[in-house]
Structure 1
Amino acid sequence: MSTIVVPSAFRALVDDQALIRCRAAGIRVLNEIEYREMSSRSIDIDRLSNGWLAYGDTLGGGRFRRVVERLFDIALSLMILTITAPVLILAAIAVKLDSPGPILYRQTRVGRFNVPFEIVKFRSMIVDAEAGGAPVWASKQDSRVTRVGAVLRLLRIDELPQLLNVLRGDMSVIGPRPERPHFVDDLAARIPHYRDRSVSKPGITGWAQVNYPYGASVEDARKKLSYDLYYIKHRSLMMDIRICLATIRVIIFREGAR
């Protein structure tokens, strides 16, 4: 499809009727902001108005779409759990034999509309990894990660138990990464529109996860937010399928694991 981009500096010089005829002829007309959003596949959060989520079809789709998305989540979760059942059993045994402590790790995360829930993952760190103080992001060569945990993280196997959260309805397969309340409060105070990501259920994988490596800083969180909000604005079943395929690439090439 042909596209015309109208830069902000030249907007007053453009004939609106000519643009209307172009659109009627099947030519896409974008302003500068829309073009940047399309080409970068992310949103410039500094240009968003405070009420941007209240307008347009950003959260549209109605009951039918919600039912389809829920059925997609359930079907995909059950399929992955069935296929990976042998891996899950071996991972559970390895975690138990490698270091003392529980096989599964539960932690409070922030869900849709800021409602907290308890996430389930394979334990990949030593017990009481944060006993010394406040929550901290995982870092490269993190000494708290166990030997088996390092492998599970590299292959993303530690994330698989989150499919139980999907079946319970706490999460979707696709959506923004669920963060801990401590980090959400901190990042919301530093980054505009950070809490806007909570209008979508958090996901095991997402647009930000397949387009940006693991983030462990405020600037990383800001960049990932631009992708999360792009997903919220443009989400569709086809986009979810595209993210699922991209996630396979991320796992195969071990992108961004810590």
Structure 2
Amino acid sequence: MSVSIGNLPKQRHLLLRIRFQLLGGLTVAILAPALIRMALDPRVILETNLQVTITAAVFAHVIGFFVYKRIGNFPGVAAAGYILPTFALSYGLVFVTIFFFRLDYSRFQAASSFMLSTLWYFGLGLATRRLEPYRLAVVPGGEVDRLDKIGGVVWHHLSAPHAAYERVNGVVADLRAVLSDDWERFIADSALAGVPVYHVKQVSESLTGRVEIENLSENTLGSLNPNQAYIKIKQAIDWLAAVLVLAVFSPLLFLVAIVIRLDSPGPVLFRQERMGYRGEVFTVYKFRSMHIDGDEGTEDEREKAITKNRDGRITRIGGLLRRSRIDELPQAINILRGEMSWIGPRPEAVVLSRWYQAELPFYRYRHIVRPGITGWAQINQGHVVEVGDVLEKLHYDFYYIKNFSPWLDVVIVLSVRRLNIWR
């Protein structure tokens, strides 16, 4: 039996090809400004500062391009919104390096290259947005019905193995379901014909940004263990960033401490035991934003650990600190002590963590990386406390752990700046 792939795309549209996008960007952003300069004075190409600038701009453009493409692969990411910050970061790092080594460079060429880079990819994004919507053919059987709830993809449900189907980017099947021999042959033939074949769970994770864990047989620990090399690199970056934050913002921290003491009675810092890396309990530090509870015995410990919307315990200055996220800055101390990271699963109070562990399977696995001040669950879901919502949050945490990488951290940092969500 042969696979009906007559309608499958033999070649991608020119605008969708990586080579065209990159070479076109280099031509528009690097070559065009240089040609304009040369039209005015052909000898300018012999000047060292222009040669240095062109070389640096090429590096910055290529770095920005590949970071931008990697960021766009994460679910829920509108890639166009990351073009400007991504290229600002890549060009900024390259030209700060040039400035550090006191190399002469052309400001016209550098500024033109940066602006034209962003304009090229913005225009390309607009041109390709509806050029080729993502389409997937779905093999019936198993748990594929849940795919219909996921937006952003055109799903083509196949009726028979021998039926021709429309132009698609791949085939999705529940590879753990019991399929007929004809469907098994269809899947094998699709793969041999060069059509990507995906497991339904793999596609669901990629499109939703969540890893669902139902039972131990479905949990491959090897796939959930994070990159150990990046753990060390990230810890070093976290430590340096924490030192920088404490040094730069020390006057602000001192001023906030004075205002807190004047606003309400109690200590400046809020301390709470939370569950951290590898299940170890640690003390988290934050600026106090709530009134001190004078009667420790009147409320359940679990209820006291939960911060509700419009919580009456929040002080006047506390509301401002929470909205601006300044109350989180003392956690730089926890980062210096190796207890936390800037990015990771948000640590929960010990009493809440033990409650969740009793109610939710695999909850402890989120402690396989250091907890963070913000994370993937926070930018996708926000602050939650109910067990049902925590289960969904756990799925986001597992996605972060499974895809633990600098690329995902960049997405989270840029999303935090854009969405202003830290809890």
Q: TM-score, normalised by structure 2?
A: 0.54
* Aligned with residue 225 of structure 2, among 59, 67, 71: 59
CA contact (8 A) 2:239 2:336 kept: yes
Deviations 1:62-114 (A, max 9, x none): 4x333211112113323333444443233222211100111111111111121
Closer, same or farther: CA 41–51 of 1 in aligned 2, 3 Å: closer
The one-letter amino acid of 1:55's match is G
The one-letter amino acid of 1:103's match is V
Is it true that 1:40 corresponds to 2:205 in the alignment?
no
Equivalences, count: 248
- Cα distance in 1 for residues equivalent to 2:395 and 2:295: 29
Q: Secondary structure at the match of 1:192?
A: coil
After TM superposition, give the deviation of residue 245 of structure 1 in Å.
1.3
After TM superposition, give the deviation of residue 28 of structure 1 in Å.
4.2
Closer, same or farther: CA 112–230 of 1 in aligned 2, 3 Å: same
Q: Which residue of 2 aligns with 1:14?
A: 184
Closer, same or farther: CA 7–93 of 1 in aligned 2, 3 Å: same
Percent sequence identity over aligned pairs: 34
Q: Which residue of 1 aligns with 2:128?
A: none
- Cα distance in 2 for residues equivalent to 1:49 and 1:69: 29
Q: Which residue of 1 aligns with 2:59?
A: none
> Can you give the 5+ residue segments of structure 1 that lack an aligned partner in the other structure?
none
- Cα distance in 1 for residues equivalent to 2:248 and 2:170: 43
Q: Which residue of 2 aligns with 1:209?
A: 378
Closer, same or farther: CA 210–11 of 1 in aligned 2, 3 Å: farther
- Cα distance in 2 for residues equivalent to 1:36 and 1:4: 13
- Cα distance in 2 for residues equivalent to 1:216 and 1:38: 26
Q: Which residue of 1 aligns with 2:216?
A: 49
Q: Which residue of 2 aligns with 1:180?
A: 349
Is it true that 1:103 corresponds to 2:268 in the alignment?
yes
- Tell which deviates more after alignment, 33-42 or 11-20: 11-20
Q: Secondary structure at the match of 1:152?
A: helix
- Cα distance in 2 for residues equivalent to 1:143 and 1:236: 39
Trace 1:235-250 onto structure 2 (pairs within 5 A): 235-250=404-419
Trace 1:158-169 onto structure 2 (pairs within 5 A): 158-169=327-338
Which is greater in Rg? Answer: 2
* Aligned with residue 117 of structure 1, among 282, 289, 292: 282
- Cα distance in 1 for residues equivalent to 2:256 and 2:220: 41
Closer, same or farther: CA 70–36 of 1 in aligned 2, 3 Å: same
Q: Which residue of 1 aligns with 2:79?
A: none
- Cα distance in 1 for residues equivalent to 2:242 and 2:192: 47
Closer, same or farther: CA 53–91 of 1 in aligned 2, 3 Å: farther
- Cα distance in 2 for residues equivalent to 1:183 and 1:91: 29
The one-letter amino acid of 1:49's match is L
- Cα distance in 2 for residues equivalent to 1:100 and 1:117: 25
The one-letter amino acid of 2:227's match is G
Closer, same or farther: CA 238–130 of 1 in aligned 2, 3 Å: farther
CA contact (8 A) 1:120 1:164 kept: yes
After TM superposition, give the deviation of residue 130 of structure 1 in Å.
7.1
Q: Secondary structure at the match of 1:80?
A: helix
The one-letter amino acid of 1:42's match is R
Q: Which residue of 2 aligns with 1:228?
A: 397
After TM superposition, give the deviation of residue 49 of structure 1 in Å.
2.4
Q: CA RMSD in A?
A: 2.4
> Can you give the 5+ residue segments of structure 2 that lack an aligned partner in the other structure?
1-133, 135-168
After TM superposition, give the deviation of residue 61 of structure 1 in Å.
2.9
Q: Which residue of 2 aligns with 1:127?
A: 292
Q: Secondary structure at the match of 1:93?
A: helix
Deviations 1:182-225 (A, max 9, x none): 11111111112111111111111110011112112112211111
After TM superposition, give the deviation of residue 51 of structure 1 in Å.
7.3
Q: TM-score, normalised by structure 1?
A: 0.86
Q: Which residue of 2 aligns with 1:81?
A: 246
CA contact (8 A) 1:129 1:144 kept: no
- Cα distance in 2 for residues equivalent to 1:122 and 1:234: 32
Higher relative contact order (CA 8 A, sep 6+): 1
- Cα distance in 2 for residues equivalent to 1:11 and 1:236: 36
- Cα distance in 1 for residues equivalent to 2:405 and 2:290: 35
- Cα distance in 1 for residues equivalent to 2:179 and 2:343: 37
Deviations 1:114-162 (A, max 9, x none): 1101100000111127722313211112111111111111121111111
After TM superposition, give the deviation of residue 40 of structure 1 in Å.
0.5
Closer, same or farther: CA 53–121 of 1 in aligned 2, 3 Å: farther
